[in-house]
A and B are shown apart, each in its own frame.
Chain A
Amino acid sequence: DTGVSQNPRHKITKRGQNVTFRCDPISEHNRLYWYRQTLGQGPEFLTYFQNEAQLEKSRLLSDRFSAERPKGSFSTLEIQRTEQGDSAMYLCASSRRLAGGNEQFFGPGTRLTVL
């Protein structure tokens, strides 16, 4: 495996249902990020993990959103009681701890559609 993987790639759900997405980062990367991207916009930061610790969480993130990274490897993002406004592409990215660029490698994303 040479990249970040995300599952599922697409999710269609009804309003009010809970959904969970999974992200598997590049194995040696200790930093993991979740973003949301809507059509015509750049990615919007949601939350950030260093190993298993959730160090940053956007103030825009509703209490319906929760993310975990229990063993410092894969991460899950759960949205409870989904709303139509949650429809977006959810991107996961990972990076190594480096003195330099800390470039992020992105996964293919999970596209959520809330009906």
Chain B
Amino acid sequence: AQKITQTQPGMFVQEKEAVTLDCTYDTSDQSYGLFWYKQPSSGEMIFLIYQGSYDEQNATEGRYSLNFQKARKSANLVISASQLGDSAMYFCAMRTFVGENTGNQFYFGTGTSLTVIP
């Protein structure tokens, strides 16, 4: 079974501080990808960062970095220097990849609501 777990329903962080949003996953597949998306109150899903299961280095995209610990099956998102505009829902997702034309499903966690305090 494929499963994404986000155990933090809500998080608060002071502006300009760093925050870590937790994500653990469960899969028996060897090849998979892990994603983080941001969903502001306006509703659109915004891609933030991607980590492949075979990538040896942690992914980074600007202020976002993904702390990938494969043995522990965790893919935590770290946001550095938080800004007020970072307040949103954050979803961790996993893509499985069984074959070129099959198994390309995405599984999302229940999300973490982040509030940045001025």
Stretch of A20-28, A41-49, A64-72 contacting B (4+ beta carbons < 8 Å)? A41-49
Contacts A55-B104, A56-B105, A93-B45 given; indicate if A101 touches B110 (C-beta within 8 A): no
Main secondary structure of the interface of B (DSSP, over half): strand
A106 touches B110 (CB 8 A): no
B107 touches A45 (CB 8 A): yes
Question: Which residues of A (61-115) have their CB < 8 Å from a CB of B?
Answer: 89, 91, 93, 100-109
Query: Inside 8 A of B102's CB, which chain A residues have their CB?
Result: 55-56
B108 touches A43 (CB 8 A): yes
Q: How many residues of B contact A (CB 8 A)?
A: 25
**Cβ proximity bits B96-116 to A, threshold 8 Å, 1 near / 0 not:** 000001111111111100000
A45 touches B35 (CB 8 A): no
Query: Inside 8 A of B91's CB, which chain A residues have their CB?
Result: 42-43
Please tell me the size bucket of the interface on A: 20 to 34
Complex: chain A residue closest to B9, CB-CB: A40
Complex: chain A residue closest to B98, CB-CB: A56
Bound state CA distance, A113 and B107, in angstroms? 24
Complex: chain B residue closest to A99, CB-CB: B52
Query: Inside 8 A of A103's CB, which chain B residues have their CB?
Result: 35, 47, 50
Interface pairs A-B: 10 shortest CB-CB: A42-B108, A101-B50, A106-B45, A103-B47, A43-B108, A42-B91, A42-B111, A45-B105, A42-B110, A42-B109
Q: List 28 A-B contacts (CB under 8 A).
A: A31-B104, A33-B106, A35-B106, A40-B110, A42-B91, A42-B93, A42-B108, A42-B109, A42-B110, A42-B111, A43-B45, A43-B91, A44-B108, A45-B107, A45-B108, A48-B105, A50-B101, A55-B101, A89-B43, A100-B50, A101-B33, A101-B50, A102-B33, A104-B45, A105-B47, A106-B44, A108-B43, A108-B44
Q: CB within 8 Å of A: which residues of B?
A: 4, 33, 35, 37, 43-47, 50, 52, 91, 93, 95, 101-111
